Amino acid sequence: MTPESKVDPAVVPSSSAPKWKTWWENFQILFIALILALLVRSYIAEPRFIPSDSMMPTLQIGDRLVVEKISYRLHPPEFQDIIVFDPPTQLQELGYSKDQAFIKRIIGKPGQTIEIKSGKVFVDNQPLLEPYIAEAPSYQMPPVQVPEGCYFVMGDNRNNSNDSHVWGFLPQEFILGRAWLRFYPVDRLGRV
């Protein structure tokens, strides 16, 4: 036997380690990974799929987004933020499930007055300049004031969107987060 072929017994893996110990270690790693994934999804960010055309042309059917959940813990939602939210009580009463997320744009903040007339949305009697909408709204809505703790949200596809002009104000506690990044399709990758 040559010195090169000599095997150091301290380096040779022991086959005497019980298989259950290896399985247990693997289980612990998977369990920790699952807990971390759940924490990230619950408190930091989660992926979402766009199932309808209510936000066209900004978002298309099939787009996949990252919804970030941290910024609204630090400050309230802003005008024109695109948000994801659980259906409020008035939508749940119409048959929508609690976990069926919606996505819309914030048009009115607490205390503001919203009105829709002559194909335009007015906020505090000022018409909005909205280059992001599919077409002007073909309906009217009398002035309404957004209550404290609530928002007025609309889809960019104004004439095909189940939004605040239909069901009312969105209480802040139903907001999950803001649409932050489109990651699919790849040719449309970027900030929302």
Q: Is 19 a catalytic residue?
A: no
Residue type, 71: S
* DSSP assigned state of 162: -
Point out the catalytic residue in the list 54, 69, 161, 164: 54
6 is catalytic: no
From 69, 104, 161, 164, active-site residue: 104
Give me the DSSP letters along 42-68. Answer: HHTEEEEE--SSTTTTTS-TT-EEEEE
Q: Which amino acid, 52?
A: S
Q: Which residues of 60-74 are buried (b: 16+ CB within 10 A; e: fewer)?
A: eeebebbbbbeebee
What residues are labeled active site? 54, 104
